Chain A
Amino acid sequence: MKAGSYVMGIDVGSSVTKGVLLLDGQILSNFMLPTGTDLDATAGECVRRLLSDRGLTQKDILYTVSTGYGRTQVKEADRTITEITCHGRGAKALVPRAELVIDIGGQDSKVIRLDEDGMVADFVMNDKCAAGTGRFLEVMAERLGMSLLDFGRMWKTARKPASISSTCTVFAESEVISLLSRGIAPDEIIRGLCDAVADRLLGMVHRVGLVPDVVMTGGVSKNEGVRLSLEKKLSLKVVVPDASQFAGAYGAAIIGHELAMRN
Chain B
Amino acid sequence: MTPGTFDTGKSHRKIAGETRRIKVIRTLTRKSWVHSAAKLVISHMERRGGTPYQIDAIRSFADDFKHAYLKEKPCIYTSAFVPNELIYGLGGVPFLPEAASGFAASFGFARESLAACESLWYSPDLCSFHRAGVGASVLELAPRPAAVVVSSHLCDGGKRSLYQISRYHDCPFYILDVPYTNSVQSLDRLAKQIGKVARGLEHEVPGLSKAHMDEAIANSNAARSHYLRLCNLRANIPSPWRGREALSYVVLFLWSWGSPWLTKFYQALANHAADVIQSGEYPVRNERFRLAWSNLKPYYSPRLFDYLEDECEVSIAFEEFSYMYWDPLDARDPYVSLAKKIMSNPGWGPIERRLEVVNRIIREFSIDGVVQFAQWGCRQYNGATSVLSDYLRKKGIPFLNLDGDGVDARNSGEAQSLTRLGAFLELMESRDIRNSR
- Residues of chain A touching chain B, judged by Cβ–Cβ distance below 8 Å, are 69, 81-85, 108, 117, 119-125, 127-128, 207
Contacts and interface: CB of A to CB of B under 8 A. Distances in A.
A254 to B, nearest CB: 13
B430 A84 contact: no
Contacts of A117: 434
B430 A69 contact: no
B419 interface: yes
B427 A128 contact: no
Contact of B416 (A81, A108, A120): A108
Given A127-B403, A128-B403, A69 B426 contact: no
A122 to B, nearest CB: 8
B184 interface: no
Given A119-B434, A120-B430, A127-B403, A82 B422 contact: yes
Nearest to B401: A124
Nearest to B418: A82
A108 B420 CA distance: 12
Contacts, number: 46
B421 to A, nearest CB: 9
Contacts of B301: none
A123 B416 CA distance: 13
B412 interface: yes
Contacts of A84: 419-420, 422-423, 426
B37 interface: no
A120 B403 contact: no
5 closest A-B pairs by beta carbon, nearest first, are: A128-B413, A84-B423, A82-B422, A82-B423, A119-B430
A106 B411 CA distance: 20
B300 to A, nearest CB: 16
Contacts of A83: 419, 423
Nearest to B376: A127
Interface string B376-407: 00000000001000000100000001010000
Given A81-B426, A84-B419, 4 more contacts: A82-B419, A84-B423, A125-B416, A128-B413
Interface of B: 386, 393, 401, 403, 411-413, 415-416, 419-420, 422-423, 426-427, 430-431, 434
B426 A82 contact: yes
Given A81-B426, A120-B426, A120-B427, A125 B419 contact: yes
B423 A123 contact: yes
A44 B331 CA distance: 70
A81 B412 CA distance: 22
Contacts of B411: 128
Contact of B412 (A69, A120, A128): A128
Contacts of B426: 81-82, 84-85, 120
Nearest to A70: B415
Contact of A69 (B403, B419, B420): B419
A241 to B, nearest CB: 21
Contacts of A69: 415, 419
A83 B393 CA distance: 23
A108 B403 CA distance: 14
Contacts of B393: 122
Nearest to B419: A82
Contacts of B413: 127-128
Nearest to B422: A82
A123 B427 contact: yes
B222 to A, nearest CB: 44
Contacts of A82: 419, 422-423, 426
A124 B401 CA distance: 9
Contact of A125 (B412, B420, B427): B420
Contacts of B416: 108, 125, 128
A61 to B, nearest CB: 23
Contacts of A120: 423, 426-427, 430
Nearest to B404: A128
A108 to B, nearest CB: 7
B78 to A, nearest CB: 32
A200 B290 CA distance: 33
A245 to B, nearest CB: 19
Most buried by A among B411, B412, B422, B426: B426
